[in-house]
Amino acid sequence: MHASPTAAPAATSGGRSPLALYALTVGAFGIGTTEFVIMGLLLQLAGDLQVSLATAGLLISGYALGVFVGAPLLTAATSRVPRKTALLALMAIFTLGNLACALAPSYAVLMVARVITSLAHGTFFGVGAVVATSVVPADRKASAISTMFTGLTVATLLGVPAGAWLGLHHGWRSTFWAVSAIGLVAMAVIAVFVSAKEAGAGSAVSLREEFKVLKRLHVLLGLAATVLGFAGVFLVFTYVQPLLTRVSGFDEAGVSAILLVFGVGMIVGNIVGGRLADKAPVPTLLGSLAALAVVLVGMGFAMQSPVAAVFFIGLLGAAGFATVAPLQLRVLSKAEGAGQSMASSLNIAAFNLGNALGAWLGGAVIDHGPGLARLPWAAAVLTVGGLAVAWLSVRLDRPVPAATLASGGATVACP
């Protein structure tokens, strides 16, 4: 689940690298739209398909779990395929899945179609992140990741409000028809602007070597920090439509405009997070997660006021997506060498596992807990957990200075 790079290294072909990054951004825009637009359609979907709000919210969990399962499986299946070919095939799966969503006659079929759509998500972003970082200098890797992920933030700024407007005025199916068209456009620009040479060949290492990355403690801790840290964002954002209408007092027609504020926040946070992570990756990692937790705590108070609610929706977008580049870079940096594509895809899967966890826990808080208005505080607890895991990972980066034991005066290095 994203600042324009400087010139590419000598190994790449002239000025084509920025075009390759922006082509990836178009694909990210399509995927981001289909992932996030459901939040602006929950009430329409629940009413049309005759399911509860919490059941409709499971469409988000189903999508996220599909990403979690699909990322390692499709990364393994495409590991030896040239990366450009893999990206095009993944966008084809995405487009066909959205067509199935538009035609779904029931909730069950829509859920299956959402899962099919989601299978391409993790591997597209995982492979795309490797391609993006390979066409820029070493000191711009985080910014390259944030450039590609700008597609997600622009999707929230433009795609999600537009999709919510389409759903409100022309039915929710029209939104999925529109997203299918975006998928076709993304395939075209990737085909034209991402060269096979820039994208690179498939991995030469075996699948067994690829999966060895899971034996690295820092990679596992990075994945856990991503799951917990980002779960807080989706525990709230999944239910942003009912939060704004039932807690803050907005009407349904006003939600699309407020989602624009969230999208602006996402773009700002994504760009700032990427640039800061290039300069100071560890402080940015910890600082962005801490800032997100603070915003969520404040949001629990702010949602009672319409003006404050809009302000904090923007802050949530900024703080939430400031974490993306540093979390992704953390895992990539700890998976250098064999298995980097797998680690990158797994971290995208971890973002989406966090999405699923947040959506599910949000439904539980609404149905069996303190209720809709308390969602931000429950979300803050999850994000603090992610911050704690990230802090532990950073502590293990280097030995703590030797400690002298009281018994016998022995000296040991504490990891």
User: What pLDDT does residue 355 have?
Assistant: 79
What contacts 358, CB < 8 A, 6 or more positions away? 230, 231, 232, 233, 234, 235, 236, 237, 238, 379, 382
Contact at 8 Å (CB) between 64 and 117?
A: no
In the chain the domains, ranked by start, together with CATH numbers, are 16-414 (1.20.1250.20)
Q: Side chain identity at 322, as an amino acid letter?
A: A
User: What pLDDT does residue 376 have?
Assistant: 94
Q: Side chain identity at 316, as an amino acid letter?
A: L
Closest CA to 288 of 259, 262, 317, 331: 317
Q: Side chain identity at 106, as an amino acid letter?
A: S
User: What pLDDT does residue 167 have?
Assistant: 85
User: What pLDDT does residue 371 have?
Assistant: 84
Residues of the chain with pLDDT under 50: 1-17, 400-415
Q: Side chain identity at 409, as an amino acid letter?
A: G
* 29-40: pLDDT as tens digits: 988 888 878 877
User: What pLDDT does residue 398 have?
Assistant: 64
β strands within 170-222, DSSP E: none
User: What pLDDT does residue 146 have?
Assistant: 79
* 380-397: pLDDT as tens digits: 999 999 999 999 999 988
CB hemisphere CA count around 253 (13 angstroms):
1
User: What pLDDT does residue 406 have?
Assistant: 41
Q: What is the pTM of this model?
A: 0.71
- Angle formed by the axes of helices 306-322 and 324-333, nearest 10°: 20
User: What pLDDT does residue 338 have?
Assistant: 59
User: What pLDDT does residue 402 have?
Assistant: 44
User: What pLDDT does residue 119 have?
Assistant: 86
User: What pLDDT does residue 282 have?
Assistant: 93
